[in-house]
Structure 1
Amino acid sequence: MRVQIASEPGRPGRANEDFAAAAPGLCLVIDGAGAPADVGTGCVHSVAWYARQLGGLLLAAAADVGLGLGEALAVGIERVNAMHAWTCDLRHPGSPSATVALARVNGERLEHLVLSDAVLVLDRVDQAPAVVTDDRLAEVITRLDEPGRLPAVGSDEHTRRLRDRVERLAAYRNQPGGFWVASTKPEAAREALVGSTPLVELNGVALLSDGASRLADRFGLLGWPELLAVLRKGGPAELIARTREAEASDPVGARWPRGKASDDASAVWWTTSD
């Protein structure tokens, strides 16, 4: 199988809180969940640090095909906990967290795992794409958000609303009836969406952070077959470049209301051809 990867921060000079990587028979995208600078986390480490550590440790755990992908994710979370339990308050509700998309070849099948709103798209032979993502976070946000459209991105009111959202989401994170992300609770891995597909039924698979899936699931400029066509022709870098063009055409979120004008974006395109 052939792998192409692209990942870039939402703004030049800003830390990229995504992490995308591949190893033999494995690929993943980790999307760190950033928070306003004045919202406490109980942790001395950055979200980018958390995403990188979890990504590397998850690749190592998932290399053991005798371990289920959910088990591997739980192991990865436990190992990151061990790295900073003595410096940080792992019980803090704002502790750094991340979404996960992971794919692994095991024999003649492709296994997948998705936790939270990362997106995995199976490019199936002679069938429509199968899109795997968890919409529980979006459902909670819909319940919590104030009525009406978000104000202009970058405005004081927009900043206030986002800060309020982050603070209120803490009560729902990794809780029954809320949403689940990778953070400090290994049991969150049991809430991941998992499955497997025979390799002969696939042309490839795309793993996307929500900053790289925007053209389809937020902006509606592409359907999933069209998004896969972009990946086939131009690869992940082309998909991100097109996303940046769309974001730049609507810098204050008038057409597409959103939390960030331009988000960190990561895409992995893994094809079955050599």
Structure 2
Amino acid sequence: MRVALATLPAGPERENEDFAAAAPGAAVLLDGAGVGGAETGCTHGVAWFSGTLGGLLLRSITTAPARPLAECLADSIGLVRSLHEDSCDLTYRASPTSTVAAVRTGGGALEYLVLGDSSLLLANTGGGTTVVTDRRLDDVGKRLRGPVDVLPTGSPEHTAALADYRDALTGLRNRPGGFWIAGPDPRAAEHALTGTVPLDSLASVTLLSDGATRLVDRFELADWQEASAVLDSSGPDELIRRVREAEAGDPDGRRWPRGKARDDATVLHWVLS
């Protein structure tokens, strides 16, 4: 098992709210989310939530190999809830949440789960790529973010529009017609995208937070096959470096409108063959 992991916070003064880890035959990546500086109702914070959930999920999927990933995620969400429901207000609409990407090998197959807008890049032995991304958050966001995208990133007007956008987005979290993400309610795990792929068909599997997928899906400076080639030749650090280079060249979001000029970026690249 060969795993390479790279992660960078949005800025040197910012806490990294992404979490990624691997164990023999399994890996997880989570991208924590709050509501842009707003009160969350949780005294622990977003990074604590994503890191705690990620650690518990990795333990669950490795110690209970016959249990489906979605059930492992539901159990882990319930455990995290039990750790802080007595000290934190988990009914608060802006309580911490996290995307989840998880994979596990067994029985000649790779089992996967994706919830929220993190992505799973599957490179097959023939040189092709398949990407698994939960697009429900993107679909909802496109309906709401028009006023944000016409303003310079980081301007006072952009900041105000972004706060309104995030507030509207929070109102659609974990409900039909909206999007699904790991939060206080274990039932969100029922809505994860899941599947299996024959293990012998894969050369590698890569888990990426949306801050790392920007090079492809936001900036369109590479396609997934090119991104896979970068990962194989130079590793996750190089992919994130290219993301940061593009962000630095468009600090105001004029070329690529976006909520954050820079975002936490994490890549876990697992070579299988």
TM-score interval, normalised by the smaller of the two chains: over 0.9
Distance in 2 between residues matched to 1:213 and 1:104, nearest whole Å: 22
1:82-126 Cα distance to aligned partner (Å, 9 max, x none): 110001111221110010111111121111100011000110122
* Contact 1:122/1:129 (8 A) holds in 2: yes
* Contact 1:150/1:258 (8 A) holds in 2: no
Residue 109 of structure 1 corresponds to 109
Residue 57 of structure 2 corresponds to 58
Query: Counterpart amino acid of 1:243?
Result: V
Distance in 1 between residues matched to 2:39 and 2:176, nearest whole Å: 23
Distance in 2 between residues matched to 1:206 and 1:237, nearest whole Å: 13
Residue 239 of structure 1 corresponds to 239
SS in structure 2 of the partner of residue 21 of structure 1? strand
Pairwise CA distance, 1:131: 0.7
Q: How many residues align?
A: 272
RMSD between aligned alpha carbons? Answer: 1.2
* Contact 1:211/1:263 (8 A) holds in 2: yes
Pairwise CA distance, 1:149: 3.2
Distance in 2 between residues matched to 1:259 and 1:66, nearest whole Å: 40
Distance in 1 between residues matched to 2:147 and 2:47, nearest whole Å: 32
Query: Counterpart amino acid of 1:129?
Result: T
Residue 3 of structure 1 corresponds to 3
Residue 75 of structure 2 corresponds to 75
What pairs with 1:251-262 in structure 2 (closer than 5 Å)? 251-262=251-262
* Contact 1:17/1:34 (8 A) holds in 2: no
SS in structure 2 of the partner of residue 215 of structure 1? helix
Identity across the alignment (%)? 51
Is 1:129 matched with 2:129? yes
Distance in 1 between residues matched to 2:188 and 2:161, nearest whole Å: 27
Distance in 2 between residues matched to 1:170 and 1:34, nearest whole Å: 9
Residue 40 of structure 2 corresponds to 41
Is 1:212 matched with 2:194? no
Query: Counterpart amino acid of 1:136?
Result: R
Distance in 1 between residues matched to 2:202 and 2:31, nearest whole Å: 25
Query: Counterpart amino acid of 2:197?
Result: T
Distance in 2 between residues matched to 1:127 and 1:174, nearest whole Å: 36
Pairwise CA distance, 1:8: 1.2
Is 1:100 matched with 2:100? yes
Pairwise CA distance, 1:146: 3.7
Residue 165 of structure 1 corresponds to 165
TM-score, normalisation: structure 2:
0.97
What pairs with 1:158-237 in structure 2 (closer than 5 Å)? 158-237=158-237
Distance in 1 between residues matched to 2:195 and 2:142, nearest whole Å: 27
- Structure 1 residue runs of 4+, over 4 Å off? none
TM-score, normalisation: structure 1:
0.96
Q: Any unmatched runs of 5+ in structure 1?
A: none
* Contact 1:31/1:98 (8 A) holds in 2: yes
Query: Counterpart amino acid of 1:113?
Result: L
Distance in 1 between residues matched to 2:228 and 2:159, nearest whole Å: 34
Distance in 2 between residues matched to 1:98 and 1:50, nearest whole Å: 8
Larger deviation, residues 208-217 vs 101-110: 101-110
